[in-house]
């Protein structure tokens, strides 16, 4: 596996999807979950919101300036509405009805923090949903998959059957735009070489 010799990262997230993406890309990391309140401020755009949360999570997780901390926050935007994780099955069904037959955007704010400095960016991916019947929605919600996902779906799970097309980074929709993360790490001076 690539990257076993990379500098250790602190992943400021408990998301199993982010952990899997980072591990598959060859990074050695430990998880440190920050206690950051995820509430959107008045007048804050979706882009500003996810980037601010990623920066706040990276700051909250950092204990030592020498550490390399990576944080992310993802949300879904459809027709101007921000769709975060549903609170219950009714909320998940409402979100899926909104997504049905439409395109929407998945936004992930990512932040790398090291030596008291932060580098951050927002990745955007456009996702198209096929029209969903009420039976489609009811079966999907009953399976439980939507409940801890922004926008109430998982592109890497059963919802893959609803998504005919995306434009942009697939891994962003899963929860961590790994190519953008690598660019941020490079910008921050992270050492990818054995030397």
Give CA torsion, residues 130, 94, 157, 120, to 10 deg. 100
Calpha distance 155→161 (Å, rounded)? 8
Three-state SS string over 57-99 comes to HHHHHCCCCCCEEEEEEEEEEECCEEECCCCCHHHHHHHHHHH
Respond yes or no: is residue 73 known to be catalytic: yes
β-pairing, 9-11 vs 29-31, is parallel
User: 68 pairs with which residues across the strands?
Assistant: 9
| Catalytic pick among 64, 73, 135, 148 | 73
Residue numbers annotated as active site: 73
């Amino acid at each position: 596996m690539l990257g076993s010799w990379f500098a250790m990262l602190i992943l400021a997230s408990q998301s199993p999807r982010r952990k899997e993406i980072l591990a598959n890309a060859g990074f050695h990391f430990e998880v440190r979950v920050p206690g950051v309140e995820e509430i959107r401020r008045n007048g804050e755009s979706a882009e500003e919101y996810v980037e601010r949360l990623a920066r706040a999570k990276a700051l909250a997780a950092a204990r030592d300036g020498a550490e390399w901390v990576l944080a992310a926050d993802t949300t879904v935007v459809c027709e101007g509405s921000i769709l975060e994780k549903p609170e219950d099955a009714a909320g998940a069904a409402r979100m899926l009805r909104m997504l049905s037959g439409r395109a929407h955007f998945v936004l992930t704010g990512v932040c790398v923090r090291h030596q008291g400095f932060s580098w951050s960016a927002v990745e955007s991916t456009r996702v198209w949903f096929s029209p969903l019947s009420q039976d489609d929605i009811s079966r999907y919600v009953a399976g439980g998959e939507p409940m801890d996902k922004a926008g109430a779906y998982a592109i890497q799970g059963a919802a893959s059957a609803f998504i005919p097309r995306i434009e942009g980074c697939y891994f962003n929709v899963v929860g961590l735009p790994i190519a953008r993360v690598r660019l941020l790490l490079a910008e921050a001076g992270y050492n990818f070489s054995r030397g």
